[in-house]
Amino acid sequence: MTKLQWGIIGLGQIAHDFAETFNQSSSQLTACASRSLAKAETFAQQFNLSKAYGSYEELLADKAIDIIYIAVPNRQHSQHIMQALHAGKHVLCEKAITMNAAELQAAIELAEQNELILAEAMTIFNMPLYQELHGLIDSGRLGNLKMIQAPFGSYKEPDPTNRFFNPDLAGGALLDIGTYAVSFARWFLSEQPEVVASTMIPFSTGVDEQSVTILQNQKNELATINLTFQAKMPKKGIVAFENGYLTIEDYPRADKAELFFNDGTTETIESGFTGNAMNYEIENMVKVINGELPNKSLFFTKDVIDILDQMQQKWHK
């Protein structure tokens, strides 16, 4: 089988992480593009890529490239997704995949029209541990889901010019760390929730610096999402059921969960490897393209983007 060829658009830190961990037998990282040819050439040399382009358009025009990995700032995602899909490329885009549900729907429709695969690089939806946990929940041992806690706190230097606080770059905690917390909650909720309450405290630039949100679905499953960019919090997810609860440390790329049953017994479930998180995304993307997995890559992503929209609407009423 011919290896699928990848190209990267945007060469910031996340692109470096992607290239450094790329390790696949069925696909190959071949090209990169930046608005600076010198930057692209340096990146290509560092990661032994055969092609470097000084514009995104040149990369998209390369007929040998099958898949584009988009790693530009959030606000630019939709533009580059659409351009890549128009160019006939499959797309794996960093989170948050788009700024809102309308942008995502337009991208989905274009991908379907062109018979291309579009996916979000969300580790939670690709880590083997979460597949294992779904199997455990489906077995009924834990009983009905009752409540989820998904905190994420990360201290960022309060510099209004950096991307975390810059509104022109879609800054704010929600579109950065919040996508992990909401994705964690949605993975376990048995159906799509509504935002029943949400409050936000803005940074001086106007972007969200911290927030608390309550989600509830029609099965009365609840989830709380707690975010901040000015205090560290343990990324410890808690999922509580009638018969016990589970905890997951560092949940964005977790490979272990602890189970605590009401009868006092405990179990540990381990699956996958944290350091291989990006490779799971890449591997699953290729399997969908090759027809080895069903194309369900955006099932949860669509719900998450809808929740993010609801949260922001609550804040700006």
Q: Which residues are known catalytic residues?
A: 95
Cβ of 167: how many Cβ atoms within 10 Å? Answer: 14
> Buried (b) or exposed (e) across 248-271, using 16+ Cβ within 10 A?
beebbbbbebebeeeeeeeeebee
Instruction: Write out the E strands in the chain.
Output: 4-9, 27-33, 51-53, 67-70, 90-94, 118-121, 145-153, 194-202, 208-216, 222-228, 236-241, 244-249, 256-261, 266-270
The β-bridge relationship of strands 208-216 and 194-202 is antiparallel
Tokens at 180, concatenated = 């992990």
Sequence-distant (≥ 6) Cβ neighbours of residue 203 within 8 angstroms: 158, 160, 165, 171, 172, 209, 229
DSSP 3-state assignment of 174? helix
